[in-house]
Amino acid sequence: MFEGRFPELVIIFVVALIVLGPHKLPQVAAMVGRWLGNARAMARQFRDQLEEEAQNMQRPVVDPTRPPPPPPPAVTPAAPPAPAPAATDSATPDAVSHERGP
Protein backbone atom coordinates (compact mmCIF):
# COMPACT_ATOMS: atom_id res chain seq x y z
CA MET A 1 0.00 0.00 0.00
CA PHE A 2 1.32 3.51 0.76
CA GLU A 3 4.99 3.37 1.77
CA GLY A 4 5.87 7.05 1.36
CA ARG A 5 8.12 6.81 -1.67
CA PHE A 6 8.81 9.99 -3.60
CA PRO A 7 6.75 9.16 -6.75
CA GLU A 8 3.71 8.34 -4.63
CA LEU A 9 4.04 11.64 -2.77
CA VAL A 10 4.26 13.57 -6.04
CA ILE A 11 1.09 11.90 -7.32
CA ILE A 12 -0.76 12.72 -4.08
CA PHE A 13 0.42 16.35 -4.28
CA VAL A 14 -0.72 16.70 -7.90
CA VAL A 15 -4.16 15.20 -7.16
CA ALA A 16 -4.54 17.51 -4.11
CA LEU A 17 -3.54 20.52 -6.24
CA ILE A 18 -6.14 19.63 -8.86
CA VAL A 19 -8.93 18.93 -6.36
CA LEU A 20 -8.30 21.78 -3.90
CA GLY A 21 -6.80 24.38 -6.19
CA PRO A 22 -3.73 26.54 -5.64
CA HIS A 23 -5.47 28.87 -3.15
CA LYS A 24 -6.75 26.27 -0.65
CA LEU A 25 -3.83 23.84 -0.84
CA PRO A 26 -1.53 25.84 1.53
CA GLN A 27 -4.36 26.20 4.08
CA VAL A 28 -5.13 22.48 3.97
CA ALA A 29 -1.43 21.61 4.21
CA ALA A 30 -1.05 23.84 7.29
CA MET A 31 -4.11 22.25 8.89
CA VAL A 32 -2.80 18.73 8.19
CA GLY A 33 0.56 19.77 9.65
CA ARG A 34 -1.12 20.96 12.85
CA TRP A 35 -3.08 17.71 13.11
CA LEU A 36 0.10 15.69 12.69
CA GLY A 37 1.87 17.82 15.30
CA ASN A 38 -0.98 17.35 17.77
CA ALA A 39 -1.06 13.61 17.10
CA ARG A 40 2.70 13.34 17.72
CA ALA A 41 2.40 15.37 20.93
CA MET A 42 -0.39 13.13 22.20
CA ALA A 43 1.61 10.01 21.32
CA ARG A 44 4.64 11.43 23.17
CA GLN A 45 2.52 12.21 26.26
CA PHE A 46 1.02 8.73 26.16
CA ARG A 47 4.45 7.11 25.91
CA ASP A 48 5.81 9.26 28.77
CA GLN A 49 2.83 8.38 30.93
CA LEU A 50 3.29 4.66 30.24
CA GLU A 51 6.98 4.87 31.14
CA GLU A 52 6.16 6.73 34.35
CA GLU A 53 3.59 4.09 35.32
CA ALA A 54 6.09 1.33 34.60
CA GLN A 55 8.58 3.02 36.92
CA ASN A 56 5.89 3.40 39.59
CA MET A 57 5.16 -0.32 39.39
CA GLN A 58 8.75 -1.01 40.45
CA ARG A 59 8.55 1.23 43.55
CA PRO A 60 6.97 -0.02 46.80
CA VAL A 61 3.48 1.27 47.49
CA VAL A 62 3.25 3.64 50.46
CA ASP A 63 -0.08 4.24 52.19
CA PRO A 64 -0.24 7.97 53.05
CA THR A 65 -2.80 7.37 55.83
CA ARG A 66 -0.52 5.07 57.83
CA PRO A 67 2.30 6.53 59.90
CA PRO A 68 5.77 5.49 58.79
CA PRO A 69 7.20 2.42 60.56
CA PRO A 70 9.56 3.13 63.44
CA PRO A 71 13.23 3.11 62.56
CA PRO A 72 15.09 -0.11 63.36
CA PRO A 73 16.89 -0.13 66.71
CA ALA A 74 20.43 1.14 66.57
CA VAL A 75 23.01 -1.62 66.61
CA THR A 76 25.70 -0.94 69.18
CA PRO A 77 28.92 -2.91 69.34
CA ALA A 78 28.84 -5.63 71.97
CA ALA A 79 30.63 -4.84 75.21
CA PRO A 80 33.68 -7.01 75.91
CA PRO A 81 32.95 -9.82 78.35
CA ALA A 82 33.58 -9.05 81.98
CA PRO A 83 36.69 -10.70 83.41
CA ALA A 84 35.97 -13.89 85.35
CA PRO A 85 36.52 -13.73 89.08
CA ALA A 86 39.74 -15.28 90.26
CA ALA A 87 39.39 -18.92 91.30
CA THR A 88 39.76 -19.50 95.00
CA ASP A 89 40.36 -22.65 96.96
CA SER A 90 37.08 -22.42 98.81
CA ALA A 91 34.89 -25.48 98.74
CA THR A 92 31.70 -23.66 97.87
CA PRO A 93 29.71 -25.03 94.97
CA ASP A 94 29.81 -21.62 93.27
CA ALA A 95 33.56 -21.60 92.91
CA VAL A 96 34.33 -24.47 90.59
CA SER A 97 37.63 -24.49 88.77
CA HIS A 98 37.58 -25.52 85.13
CA GLU A 99 41.31 -25.97 84.95
CA ARG A 100 42.82 -29.40 84.67
CA GLY A 101 45.38 -30.27 87.22
CA PRO A 102 48.70 -32.17 86.71
pLDDT in tens, 48-102: 999 998 888 877 767 778 877 788 887 777 777 777 766 655 555 555 555 665 5
pLDDT in tens, 12-31: 889 988 998 888 988 988 99
Q: What is the pLDDT of residue 40?
A: 97
pLDDT exceeds cutoff 60 at 11: yes
- Share the mean pLDDT of the chain: 80
- From residue 56, give the alpha-carbon distance in Å to each of 48, 59, 72: 12, 5, 26
DSSP code of 81? P
